[in-house]
Amino acid sequence: MSEKAKFFSRSLFFLITISIFLLILSSFSLVQFPGTHFIPRSVFKLILVNSTSFFLKPNAQTELVKFPFFSSTDTNLSMRCGSLSCPNTNVGAPRCYRNKTCDRNQALRKLKVFVYDLPPEFHFGLLGWNGNTNQTWPHVDSHSRIPPYPGGLNLQHSVEYWLTLDLLASNTPKVGTAVRVQNSSQADIVFVPFFSSLSYNRHSKLHGKEKVSVNKMLQTKLVQFLTARDEWKRFGGDDHLIVAHHPNSMLHARKKLGSAMFVLADFGRYPVEIANLGKDIIAPYKHVVRTIPSRESAQFDRRPILMHFQGAIYRKDGGAIRQELYYLLKDEKDVHFTFGTFGGNGIKKASQGMSSSKFCLNIAGDTPSSNRLFDAIASHCVPVIISDDIELPFEDVLDYSEFCLFVRASDAVKKGYLLDLLRGIEKDHWTKLWERLKEIAPHFEYSFPSQPGDAVDMVWKAVLRKTSSVQFKRHRMNRYARSEALLKRIVL
């Protein structure tokens, strides 16, 4: 190689080396000295929105996040965190920005729901409603025209009622996640409007000369109806939604309809092949105590009771722990641990006790869950969950450790363990739990019309998050369907 060629090669090598060095140095200076960078602000915004910057780090110490590439005047990028996280979305971005993006995306995305026009005997007819001839649904434009749901213990499993009302009103001017569509082929999910919990509570016993209960008869008719529908046959029921919130509801039909997505209180009485977190939704009970407004919620020093439990003490299965805890705690001066029912003045007493207590025990009973947890949340009494097999509503977006305490059953029954734990929690720590409790409490409120972020809206959002797996199954089943249909047209 000639000297001239060698000189040229060396010069090119040094030029490339220096260029790479300067590029790295300039990139570093852009991060350290944002006021002097050459890249337009619009490009940085694009980088932020798409979460492609390696320099964005979440700040876990504060709720107010400021972005280093912008001045304090950029108020659209200096924002307060929402109460919900956004799973699997922009995981590299700060939590606040991730939440804001998630909320905006979810607000734009609607859950399209097709509703079967089942006869009233399956839904509002169970409430004593009788419409005009050929009228399937009550009018929902006025509260006075809507059949009320029975109170007491019935109310805690009324999820079916609130979801159905929301769908009936979804085409009126309102803000909501779910919208009713008239064509099942356009739907993300097919809703089965059967008030299964009410059917169990009111019609599971035989009356008079009946040989089959109304509850069992309705389930039999429902199976016949669904399995004969083209909508069910199309995907084997995978895209159907059935509310079976009471643990004993749908007892006769659940195996035959187990491919559907269920809305449940827990999995305590279901085999894993019928109900599981992979396909089903855990929804909160409707609390029965009075909701305490945030401004009326008593602080640490105004809650003289350390821990509160009022309910059935002698339970079977996993609920035997209640009896053990009763004998450990009943004589403690700052503990309220008594038998109680919803009858008489029971609800009022429970409400007063919870709102005067620092901690409320949620102990496993006949099933892992109970309404007591949601009564505690409504009372802003920090829940202490002693139920190893419990599944919690919306846990993919809510971190319960921010407002609850969890104690393993094996630890709770150790003498002195629970008392030492709760008495050792200082005021500042309890206040953080209490403040977060007040923030998330609206997510567990059922209402009509539904409100953004209330329990109805949260359930629909949970269903919406599940529809990706439904779509996955649907697309796999459709792999050859279109090709085969095309081939038939060509042959014909």
| 104-132 confidence digits (pLDDT tens) | 555 568 999 999 999 999 999 999 999 88
pLDDT of residue 177: 92
Q: How many CB atoms lie within 10 A of CB 226?
A: 23
Contact 281, 392 (CB under 8 A): no
| 266-287 confidence digits (pLDDT tens) | 999 999 999 999 999 999 999 9
- pLDDT band for position 97 (cuts 50, 70, 90): very low
**Which pTM was predicted?**
0.77
Q: What is the mean pLDDT of the chain?
A: 82
| 327-351 confidence digits (pLDDT tens) | 999 899 999 998 876 666 778 889 9
- Site of tokens 């649904």: 137
Residue 234, classed as helix, strand or coil, is helix
Order the strands of the 382-386 sheet from edge to edge: 335-339, 305-311, 357-363, 382-386, 405-406
Alpha-carbon distance of 23 to 2, in angstroms, equals 32
pLDDT of residue 25: 63
Q: Is 113 exposed, middle or buried (0-12, 13-18, 19+ CB in 10 A)?
A: buried
The encoded tokens of residue 330 equal 């009943």
pLDDT of residue 72: 35
- Pairwise pLDDT comparison (93 vs 111), residue with the higher score: 111
| Residue 80 main-chain phi, psi, to 5 deg | -90, 140
Share of the chain above pLDDT 90, in %: 61
The encoded tokens of residue 267 equal 């999995």
Q: Is 448 exposed, middle or buried (0-12, 13-18, 19+ CB in 10 A)?
A: middle
- Pairwise pLDDT comparison (129 vs 317), residue with the higher score: 129
Is residue 450 scored above 90 in pLDDT? yes
Is residue 17 scored above 90 in pLDDT? no
Q: Is 267 exposed, middle or buried (0-12, 13-18, 19+ CB in 10 A)?
A: buried
198 CB-side CA count, 13 A = 21
Alpha-carbon distance of 86 to 99, in angstroms, equals 6
pLDDT of residue 64: 33
- Site of tokens 């567990």: 444
pLDDT of residue 168: 95
| 138-190 confidence digits (pLDDT tens) | 999 888 889 999 988 889 999 999 999 999 998 776 668 999 999 999 999 99
pLDDT of residue 254: 97
- pLDDT band for position 490 (cuts 50, 70, 90): confident
Residue 58, classed as helix, strand or coil, is coil
Burial track 328-367 (b if 16+ CB lie within 10 A, e otherwise): bbeeeeebbbeebebeeeebebbbebbbbbbbbbbbbbeb
- Pairwise pLDDT comparison (297 vs 12), residue with the higher score: 297
Burial track 50-72 (b if 16+ CB lie within 10 A, e otherwise): ebebeebeeeeeeeebbbebbee
The pairing of beta strand 405-406 with beta strand 335-339: unpaired
- The mean per-residue pLDDT over the stretch 447-467 comes to 95
pLDDT of residue 152: 82
- The mean per-residue pLDDT over the stretch 355-359 comes to 97
Share of the chain above pLDDT 70, in %: 73
List 180's β-bridge partners, or say none: 113
| Residue 255 main-chain phi, psi, to 5 deg | -70, -40
pLDDT of residue 51: 39
Contact 424, 416 (CB under 8 A): no
* DSSP state for residue 185 in the 8-state scheme: G
Written as one string, the DSSP assignment of 412-427 is: HTSTTHHHHHHHTS-H
- Pairwise pLDDT comparison (479 vs 118), residue with the higher score: 118
